[in-house]
Amino acid sequence: MDSELNSKVNLQEILNTLEVDRKKISETYKTCYILFGLAIVILVIGLLIRFPALGFIGFLVSALIAILMHFRIDDEVKQYKADYKTNVVASALKTVNESFVFAPLSGLPEYEFVSSELFTTEPDRYKTQDLITGTTDKTSFWFAEVHAEYKTQTQTKNGTRTEWHTIFEGIIFAADFNKNFNVSTVVRPKSFGASLGAWFSKNVFSFGNTEVVQLENTEFDNKFVTYSKNQIEARYILTPAMMERILDLNKKCDETISISFIHSKMYIAFPLSQNYFEAPIHSSLLAPDLLTDDLSIVKFMHDIVHELDLNTRIWGKE
């Protein structure tokens, strides 16, 4: 009890210290915005009173001061954001699961994203951060934010135009499934398009019809399409209880999930557009609901182990 009280006191002290830094950064940013606004006003007035040179000089001076202020505080902003993740978020995560390790600068390696077989398009640009690893009973799991994109290039009369398209943006969750699968089994949404965005039509598994697994749960088959080169193994993984749990998990999500079972691991892709664990700049660190949204998604990921009953060793592997 004393240690819990001490940790709360220490966290409050950290928040109080960081709040001073946050206010300084916020005020500096506000000053920059005001100076940029002033620069535009001076330019417009100069043009209206037919003194464009005066307006242009005033614009340059105000804008230059704003840019310099912005650059000068950049290092402090990076340090503030890093301290927030290292000291505040990492401590708060322990309240969900004591085993959690938070690595803000790490993520899901690109090779693991590709080998999960959730997507067949390899990224041309790949960003990942905020890796969280932990264990619940005997099950190890990890998850991270991922933004993967591919590019297309078209020739126009003005030269080459490059466009970036999202393959996936959200959280990839992975867990030890305690068996080395002989082949991969993939569960993807049946109605792609509106629910997962246009990217999914380009990134679905391209199995032939002979590899579609017909399962006995009608609701599951109406929601998902299951692919595997081993029908028996796929049914052994997707037991009636597992299918019900996946359906229940999917109902709790805003967008349809996709799942793969491969190399003794289970991967789940949760499409999300929100960035988590980011330090606020223009709102107080002392707000009581500071970490409510962040911790809710972490608890959701953590509870997947129980939702899907991954601690039950149905394979007999310890």
List of E strands, 120-214: 125-136, 139-156, 159-176, 185-189
Mean per-residue pLDDT, 130-156: 90
Q: Is it the case that residue 148 has pLDDT exceeding 90?
A: yes
pLDDT band at 316 (very low <50, low <70, confident <90, very high): very low
Mention every residue, 6+ apart, whose C-beta is less than 8 A from residue 270.
170, 171, 172, 173, 253, 255, 257
Q: Is it the case that residue 201 has pLDDT exceeding 50?
A: no
pLDDT band at 189 (very low <50, low <70, confident <90, very high): confident
Backbone conformation region of residue 268, classed left if phi is above 0, alpha if psi is from -120 to 50, else beta: beta
Backbone conformation region of residue 28, classed left if phi is above 0, alpha if psi is from -120 to 50, else beta: alpha
| Residue 253, both tokens | 């999500």
Rg (CA), the chain: 25
CA 82 to chain centre: 17
Domain map (residue ranges) of the chain = 1-96, 101-308
Calpha distance 35→28 (Å, rounded) = 11
At residue 294, the pLDDT reads 87
Calpha distance 217→142 (Å, rounded) = 29
Of residues 7 and 291, more confidence is placed in 291
- Average model confidence (pLDDT) across the chain: 83
At residue 103, the pLDDT reads 93
pLDDT band at 150 (very low <50, low <70, confident <90, very high): very high
Q: Is 97 exposed, middle or buried (0-12, 13-18, 19+ CB in 10 A)?
A: middle
pLDDT band at 313 (very low <50, low <70, confident <90, very high): low
Backbone conformation region of residue 159, classed left if phi is above 0, alpha if psi is from -120 to 50, else beta: left
Task: Give the orientation angle of helix 292-307 with respect to helix 240-251, to 10 degrees.
Answer: 170
